[in-house]
């Protein structure tokens, strides 16, 4: 399932300056580099599963990942989208709990695994890493609280517009400068927004009718960014 490839080197990792490890001292980075190993995942593969025990953290080298929570009736809610340089599984490791989310590869991905022991050793040696992690958790928490508020107060159309802007922020555009650089199914989009798949499909069609976006299969192009922002009705 998971294929071991030539491991990249943390010192020269293309995601180094995007990650929470960016300020690590050479000695600590060396430790991480020695104990980590890198895995390749195929599209659709699970990196870790809700309920399982964490044994370390994951650092994304390439690819795209969705993190989602499965609710009572088995319905999925996408809580986060991850890309190069993002770390996964730190929340559960820090609070010493089993994973509360499942991580799925949205496309082929290369992801390094850093064992728990190394992570906590480095954490004890580098106060700056603690600070970075606290900042990361703090902003994650702020966004989560904003999302709760929006789920309670905004209609689906506004949340859908916002989700498209969020996807744009996370993965950017392809070379044409307007097509979202990720292939999400309509169901995935519905599970980001927190609505039924049919509703998401209908409202996407509406946005297309309104000339705000374009749809070509799974390709979504934002053709009127300002009107999309207006539609999202963002809070300050």
Partner DNA sequence: TTCAAAACATGACAAAAGTCATGTTTAAGC
Partner DNA sequence: GCTTAAACATGACTTTTGTCATGTTTTGAA
The string of DSSP letters for 113-130 reads EEEHHHHHHHHHH-HHHH
In the DSSP assignment, the letter for residue 212 is S
Residue with smaller CB distance to its own copies, 109 or 193: 193
The site map against its own copies for 110-139 (x = CB under 8 A) is: --------------x--x--xx-xxx-xxx
The answer to whether 88 and 50 are in contact (CB under 8 A) is no
- Residue 218 CB, shortest distance to DNA, in Å, is 5
- Residue 201 CB, shortest distance to DNA, in Å, is 4
Q: What are phi and psi of 180, to 5 degrees?
A: -60, 135
Residue 95 touches which of its own copies, DNA, none (Cβ within 5-8 Å per kind): its own copies
The answer to whether 114 and 32 are in contact (CB under 8 A) is yes
Does residue 108 belong to the site contacting its own copies (CB under 8 A)? no
The site map against its own copies for 153-192 (x = CB under 8 A) is: xx--------------------------------------
Count CB-CB contacts under 10 A for residue 162.
Answer: 23
Q: What are phi and psi of 46, to 5 degrees?
A: -95, 130
Residue 198 touches which of DNA, its own copies, none (Cβ within 5-8 Å per kind): DNA
Residues binding DNA (CB under 7 A): 155-157, 185-187, 194-199, 201-202, 204-205, 215, 217-218
Count CB-CB contacts under 10 A for residue 44.
Answer: 10
């Amino acid at each position: 399932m998971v294929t071991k490839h030539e491991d990249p080197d943390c010192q020269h990792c293309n995601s180094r300056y995007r990650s929470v490890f960016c300020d690590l001292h050479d000695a600590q980075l060396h430790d991480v580099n020695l104990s980590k190993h890198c895995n390749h995942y195929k599209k659709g593969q699970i990196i870790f599963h809700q309920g399982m025990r964490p044994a370390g953290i994951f650092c994304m080298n390439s690819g795209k990942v969705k993190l989602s929570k499965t609710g009572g009736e088995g319905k999925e809610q996408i809580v986060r989208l991850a890309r190069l340089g993002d770390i996964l599984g730190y929340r559960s490791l820090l609070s010493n709990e089993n994973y509360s989310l499942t991580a799925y590869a949205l496309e082929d991905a290369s992801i390094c695994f850093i064992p728990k022991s190394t992570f906590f050793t480095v954490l004890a040696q580098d106060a700056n890493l603690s600070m970075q992690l606290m900042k990361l958790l703090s902003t994650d928490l702020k966004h989560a609280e904003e999302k709760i508020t929006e789920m309670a107060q905004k209609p689906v159309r506004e949340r859908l517009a916002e989700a498209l802007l969020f996807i744009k922020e996370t993965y950017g555009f392809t070379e044409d400068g307007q097509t979202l650089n990720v292939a999400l199914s309509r169901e995935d989009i519905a599970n980001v927004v927190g609505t039924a798949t049919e509703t998401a499909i209908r409202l996407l069609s509406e946005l297309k009718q309104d000339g705000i976006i374009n749809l070509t299969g799974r390709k979504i192009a934002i053709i009127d960014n300002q009107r999309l922002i207006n539609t999202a009705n963002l809070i300050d």
